[in-house]
Structure 1
Amino acid sequence: MPSEHFDALIVGAGFAGIGAAIQLKRMGYQNFVILDREDDLGGTWYVNHYPGLAVDVPTTTYSYFFEPNPNWSRLFSTGTEIKRYADDVADKYDVRRHIRFNTTVEGARWDEDASLWRVNVADGPELTAQFLFTATGFLSQPKLPDIPGIADFAGKVVHTTDWDDTYDPTGERIAVIGTGATAVQLIPELARTAADLTVYQRTPIWVAPKLDFPISDRTKRLFARLPWTQRIVRAITDTIYEAMINVGVVHYRVPLFRRLNISAMDLCKINQFIQVRDKELRRRLTPDYDIGCKRPTFSNSYFRTFTKPHVHLQSDGIDHVTADGIVNADGTTTAIDTLVLATGFDLWEANFPAIEVIGRDGRNLGKWWRENRFCAYQGVSMPGFPNYLSLASPYAFLGLNFFNTMEYQMRLMDRLFGELQHRGAATFEVTEQANAAYLDRMTELLGDSLWTLGNCAGSRSYYFNPHGEPSLLRPMSTQDAIEEASTFPLTDYQLT
Structure 2
Amino acid sequence: MTSEQFDAVIVGAGFAGIGAAIQLKRSGIENFVILDREDDLGGTWYVNHYPGLAVDVPTTTYSYFFEPNPNWSRLFSTGDEIKQYADDVADKYDVRRHIRFGVTVDGARWDEDATLWRVNLADGTTLSSRYLLTATGFLSQPHMPDIPGITEFEGRVIHTTAWDDSYDPSGEKIAVIGTGATAVQLIPELAKKSADLTVYQRTPIWVVPKVDFRFSERAKRLFARVPLTQRLIKRLTDSIYEVMVSVAVRHYGTFRGRFNISASDLAKIHRFVTIRDKDLRRRLTPDYDFGCKRPTFSNSYYRTFTKPHVHLQDTGITRVEADGIVAGDGTKTVIDTLVLATGFDLWEANFPAIEVIGRNGRNLGKWWRETRFQAYQGVSIPHFPNYLSLASPYAFIGLNFFNTMEYQMRHMDRLFGEVRRRGATTFEVTEQANAEFLDRMTDLLGNSLFTIGDCASARSYYFNPAGEPTLLRPTSTQTAIREASEFPVTDYSFG
**Please, what TM-score do these two structures have when normalized by structure 2?**
0.99
Cα separation, 2, equivalents of 1:161 and 1:429: 36
Partner of 2:141: 141
C-alpha distance in 2 between matches for 1:472 and 1:394: 5
- Counterpart secondary structure, 2:347: coil
Q: Provide the C-alpha distance between the structure 1 equivalents of 2:453 and 2:257, rounded to a whole number of angstroms.
A: 9
**1:72-111 mapped onto 2 (5 Å cutoff):** 72-111=72-111
Query: 2: distance between equivalents of 1:193 and 1:187?
Result: 11
Deviation at 1:400, TM superposition (A): 2.6
**Residue type matched to 1:186 in 2?**
L
Identity %: 78
Distance 2:244 2:293 in 1: 13
Q: Give the match for residue 421 of structure 2.
A: 422
Give ranges in structure 2 of 5+ residues lacking alignment. Answer: none
Segments ≥4 residues shifted beyond 6 Å: none
Cα displacement string for residues 110-154 of structure 1 (whole angstroms, at most 9, x for unaligned residues): 000000000001114210000000000000000001100011100
Residue of structure 2 equivalent to 1:32: 32
Residue 435 of structure 1 pairs with residue 431 of structure 2 = no
SS of equivalent to 1:313:
strand
Confirm whether residue 341 of structure 1 aligns to residue 335 of structure 2.
no
Instruction: Measure, in 2, the Cα distance between the counterparts of 1:177 and 1:400.
Output: 27
User: How far is the alpha carbon of 1:2 from its aligned partner?
Assistant: 4.8
Amino acid at match of 1:285: L
How far does residue 273 in structure 1 lie from its aligned partner after superposition? Answer: 1.3
Secondary structure of 1:94's aligned partner: coil
1:59 aligns with: 59
Partners of 1:300 and 1:138 in 2: CA distance: 27
Pairs within 5 Å for 1:395-414 = 395-414=394-413
Contact 2:2 2:125 in 1 (8 A): no
- Match for residue 219 of structure 1? 219
Give the whole-Å Cα distance in 1 for the aligned partners of 2:269 and 2:227: 37
CA distance in 1, matches of 2:148, 2:39: 33
Shift of the 87–124 alpha-carbon distance from structure 1 to 2, 3 Å rule, reads farther
SS state at 2:130 partner = strand
Matched, 1:300 2:274: no
Give the residue type in structure 1 aligned to 2:438: L
Residue 385 of structure 1: aligned partner: 384
Aligned residue in 2 for 1:10: 10
Moved more, 18-27 or 236-245: 236-245
1:287 maps to 286
**Aligned residue for 2:204?**
204
2:171 equivalent to 1:171: yes
Report the residue type matching 1:415 in the other structure: R
1:323 counterpart letter in structure 2: A
Q: CA deviation at 1:50?
A: 0.3
Give the equivalent residue in structure 1 for 2:260: 261
Q: Map Cα deviations across residues 294-335 of structure 1 (whole Å, 9 max, x no partner).
A: 111100000000000000000011100100001111111101
- 1:358-373 alignment to 2 at 5 Å? 358-373=357-372
Q: 2:484 matched to which residue of 1?
A: 485
1:109-120 to 2 correspondences below 5 Å: 109-120=109-120
Checking the alignment, whether the CA contact within 8 Å between 2:34 and 2:98 is kept in structure 1 is: yes
Partner of 1:461: 460
Q: Summarize deviations over 1:253-308 as a string: whole Å, max 9, x none.
A: 113x5212210111111111111111111110010000111111100000000000
* Cα distance per residue 1:59-110 (max 9 Å; x no partner): 1101101000000000000000000000000000000000000000000000
Specify the SS of the correspondent of 1:377.
coil
C-alpha separation between the residues in 1 aligned to 2:209 and 2:232? 23
Rounded to whole Å, the distance in 1 between the matches of 2:304 and 2:61 is: 29
Look up the match of 1:351.
350
CA distance in 2 between partners of 1:21 and 1:28 (Å): 11
Q: Which amino acid aligns with 1:408?
A: Y
Deviations 1:190-233, CA, capped at 9 Å, x for gaps: 00010000000000000111000010000000000000000111
Partner of 1:195: 195
Q: Give the secondary structure class of the aligned counterpart of 1:280.
A: helix
Following superposition, the deviation at residue 3 of structure 1 comes to 3.1
Contact 2:462 2:469 (8 Å CA) reproduced:
yes
Work out the CA distance in 2 between the residues paired with 1:157 and 1:296: 27
Q: CA deviation at 1:184?
A: 0.1
CA distance in 2, matches of 1:491, 1:261: 40
Query: Following TM superposition, by how much is the alpha carbon of 1:240 offset from its aligned partner in structure 2, in angstroms?
Result: 1.1
- Residues 14-63 of structure 1, C-alpha deviation per residue, up to 9 Å, x if partnerless? 00000000000011110000000000000000000000000001111011
Structure 1 counterpart of 2:217, one-letter code:
D
Quote how far apart the aligned CAs of 1:178 are. Answer: 0.1
Q: Identify which range, 2-11 or 195-204, moves more after superposition.
A: 2-11
Which whole-Å CA distance do the structure 2 matches of 1:460 and 1:292 have between them? 12
Local SS of the residue matching 2:108: strand
Output the CA distance in 2 between the equivalents of 1:316 and 1:387. Answer: 50
What amino acid does structure 2 have at the position aligned with 1:4? E
Matched pairs, number: 495
